[in-house]
Amino acid sequence: MTDKAKRSAWGILPAEWKSICKELGLPAYRADQITVALHRNLAMSWDEVTTLSKDLRQRLSENFTLDPLKIVRTHTSTDGVEKLLLECCDGEKIETVLIPSKGRVTQCISTQCGCAFGCAFCASGMGGISRDLDAGEIVAQVVSACQLMRENEDLVPAKSTGAPRPGNIVVMGMGEPFANYDNVIKALKILNDQRGINIGARHITISTCGVIPGIKKLAEEGLQFELSVSLHAPNDHLRNQIMPVNKKWPIRELLDVCNAYTAKTGRIVTYEYTMVKDFNDGTTHANDLIKLLRQCHCKVNLIPLSPVEGYAGKRPDDRRCLGFLDSLHKANMNVTMRKSRGKDVDAACGQLRTNVANE
């Protein structure tokens, strides 16, 4: 069997290991041993899995690869944000970002190599898409981060106990998670599993540009992941200009589906609103946003634009951002503003990959 035909061991659910062990004629407890070795003890090769016999390790290595993603580049920003450029087996490069804050590390992970949705201000979509990541490659980003955290004390929160791992996962890196739905949900289930990396569902946030079928599907899953929706504009006229996806799934339809999601799951949706100078950051825009979301049980997260090459938009100054925030506060909306971090490491989606490609 060539490496190409092997399955990535990182992308296998604990329940699947049970059936794999059965097929191989192994007792069920072997499945738990494998999960613990891979996802808790972060084995880098089958040889490290010493709870299994040499023979068994050999059999497993013939069928399942345990290749972590290659760390091509790490880049630390002055505020402690660590950006990693990772290489997949076929040479495709993806990004992941580690953001230490309040005694935890939040990791931002990618779901696709590039992105097909072409939001005007997002570097990930500027080169189009080459392919989806498989579940193993999505999980392996977190494994790479855990390994880095093991080696780098600066990334480990002071009060952390047990093996270092991110406290939160945000699916806000390169790609549109709902355009790669099955692999993303599978990977998140693996990351969430208590026998493995064990990241609580409420510490995992999926962000979508508004892919309605994905939101509907997620509503039926009975999972507790957090959902963010990139809104970025208070009306279709503006949203059409920066988000081509709005022509397919316009704001009214999107909000109706999000409201149905909340009714069905009891989970509140967070709307992301990237503020672009003189485009969507004025008092009328704030008032329109308030009117639009008044009937929704939701949160709003304001993000000052992180300027990218290839998009002429600018970041509004602090006074304007705070003014927008204040208008929403006064209307009793549940609103936060994301601190811009990692600016000196090109931490906005897809920027590191684009810059390396241009070097």
Burial environment of residue 243 by CB neighbours within 10 A (0 to 12, 13 to 18, 19 or more) = buried
Query: Residue 170 contacts by C-beta under 8 Å, 6 or more apart in sequence?
Result: 106, 107, 108, 109, 204, 205, 207
* Residue 296 annotated among the catalytic residues of the structure: no
Q: Which one, of 181, 246, 248, 194, lies nearest residue 220 by Cα?
A: 181
Pick the piece of the chain touching ligand SAH (CB under 6 A) from 190-198, 204-212, 214-222, 283-291: 204-212
- In this structure, are residues 189 and 182 in contact, taking their beta carbons and an 8 Å threshold? no
The kind and range of the H/E element at 285 are helix 283-293
Touching ligand SAH, residues 291-310 (CB under 6 A)? 303, 305-306, 308
Q: Which one, of 163, 175, 185, lies nearest residue 230 by Cα?
A: 175
Q: Cβ closer to ligand SAH: 57 or 239?
A: 239
Touching ligand SAH, residues 168-197 (CB under 6 A)? 172, 176
Touching ligand SAH, residues 303-342 (CB under 6 A)? 303, 305-306, 308
* Residue 349 annotated among the catalytic residues of the structure: yes
Which amino acid belongs to residue 316?
P
CB atoms under 10 Å from CB of 62, counted, come to: 10
Which amino acid belongs to residue 215?
I
Query: Which among 108, 113, 298, 349 is annotated as catalytic?
Result: 349
Alpha helices in 162-276 (DSSP H): 181-192, 212-219, 236-242, 245-248, 251-265
Q: Cβ closer to ligand SAH: 33 or 306?
A: 306
Q: Cβ closer to ligand SAH: 66 or 209?
A: 209
Q: Cβ closer to ligand SAH: 31 or 242?
A: 242
- In this structure, are residues 35 and 15 in contact, taking their beta carbons and an 8 Å threshold? no
Pick the piece of the chain touching ligand SAH (CB under 6 A) from 89-97, 185-193, 206-214, 261-269: 206-214
Kindly state whether residue 230 participates in binding ligand SAH, applying the rule CB under 6 A: yes
Query: Which among 82, 88, 95, 119 is annotated as catalytic?
Result: 95
Annotate each residue in 271-290 with x if it binds ligand SAH (CB under 6 A) or - if it does not, as one string. -x-x----------------
The residues annotated with a catalytic role in the active site are 95, 349
Residues lying near ligand SAH in the complex (CB under 6 A): 119, 121-122, 172, 176, 207-209, 230, 272, 274, 303, 305-306, 308, 348-349
